[in-house]
Amino acid sequence: MDHSVSRNWRDPELLLKALPSVLLQTTCFIAPLLMTFLLTFQRTRDFQLRWTWDLATWTDVFTKPHYWTILGHTLVMAAACVAISMVIAFPIAYGLSTRFKRWENEIKILITFAFITDATLKTFGWVLFLDKKGAANFLLAGLGLPPESVAFLFTDWATLLGMVYNLLPFAIFTLYLSIDNIDRNLILAAYDAGAGKWRAHWEVTLPLCKPGIWAGSVLIFLLGVGVFLEPKVLGGGTSPMSAELIRQTFETRVNWPLGAALTLVLMTVSVFLVLLFTRLLNMKRAGASA
């Protein structure tokens, strides 16, 4: 149902409500992004920004493979995080909208709380849990397993675990919303047409929540390429990801133009990949229906 009313920008009611957010996001989101872009054409000398307007930073970015290796690693990690999160989130979201009705509210509260709790704290919790002398090994030793069975802290696996942990709720919520919006009658119709449970699932439920799967994947991918805490704290900084590199560029090297350029490269490449995949999927769908 659409119950929107047509409004003109001269209407004070529209202006009053829309202007604060428009101003906020233009002055504190769009303008800083433009500024970031402009900064890439400057240089830093003696930890001071110099307005030089040249392409030195970009030359540096495009000639050092180091940055691109890290970027590639970041993209792979983010993609892996998307895949794992979606596989785990689907049964949860499906259950929430169809079978967990009795505990629906309680489950939602539990997930929301875990989601809303600060990532720093939870990441710290994981360190304490996964450490060689941490809780996991202590508990396993109590069960008679050899000491240090859990020894993947400070590897990419720990980073991935942290990323999935922190981003999984986004997957659950987006999938839940899209599955919940499916008309139950369609699924019943599939049963009626003689489809078994699994078949109905494959041919009705899954295709219908494609938009949700896609939206969740995009969100997690974009947030995943920007993680910093997980590789630093859980990965132990051994195999840095782009955000960590950017952080260092700003903090340790105080090279703002380079940091700005790397930020833009990261965002542009990620958004480009998202658009590319959207395009490919659409083409496939168009091809399949033709």
- Which structure tokens are listed for 188? 């019943």
CA distance 81 to 157: 11
Min dist CB 211 to other proteins, Å, is: 15
43 near other proteins, judged by CB under 8 A: no
Min dist CB 221 to other proteins, Å, is: 9
Q: What is the DSSP string of 31-61?
A: HHHHHHHHHTT-EEETTEEE----SHHHHHH
Q: Could you tell me if 197 and 184 are in contact, meaning their C-beta atoms sit under 8 angstroms apart?
A: no
**Residue 38: partners with Cβ closer than 8 Å, 6 or more residues away:** none
**Binding letters toward other proteins, positions 179-218, x by CB under 8 A:** ------------------x--------------------x
- Which structure tokens are listed for 262? 């790397």
Min dist CB 177 to other proteins, Å, is: 9
Among 16, 143, 288, 290, binds other proteins (CB under 8 A): 16
40: left (phi over 0), alpha (psi -120 to 50) or beta: alpha
User: Residue 153: CA atoms inside 13 Å, Cβ hemisphere, count?
Assistant: 20
CA-based R_g, the chain, Å:
24
Min dist CB 262 to other proteins, Å, is: 10
30 near other proteins, judged by CB under 8 A: yes
Q: Side chain identity at 256, as an amino acid letter?
A: W
Among 80, 135, 140, 269, binds other proteins (CB under 8 A): 135
45 near other proteins, judged by CB under 8 A: no
252 near other proteins, judged by CB under 8 A: no
119 near other proteins, judged by CB under 8 A: yes
Q: Side chain identity at 107, as an amino acid letter?
A: I
Among 45, 66, 102, 133, binds other proteins (CB under 8 A): 133
Q: How distant is the alpha carbon of residue 182 from its chain centre?
A: 25
Count of residues in contact with other proteins, rule CB under 8 A: 86
CA distance 78 to 232: 15
Among 45, 47, 102, 113, binds other proteins (CB under 8 A): 113
Among 75, 165, 174, 190, binds other proteins (CB under 8 A): 165
- Which structure tokens are listed for 216? 């969740």
Among 86, 229, 258, 265, binds other proteins (CB under 8 A): 229
Among 109, 145, 186, 276, binds other proteins (CB under 8 A): 109
Among 59, 120, 278, 282, binds other proteins (CB under 8 A): 120
Residues 256-285 that bind other proteins (CB under 8 A): 256, 259-260, 263, 266-267
- Which structure tokens are listed for 137? 């090994």
- Which structure tokens are listed for 189? 């119709």
Among 36, 155, 239, 248, binds other proteins (CB under 8 A): 36
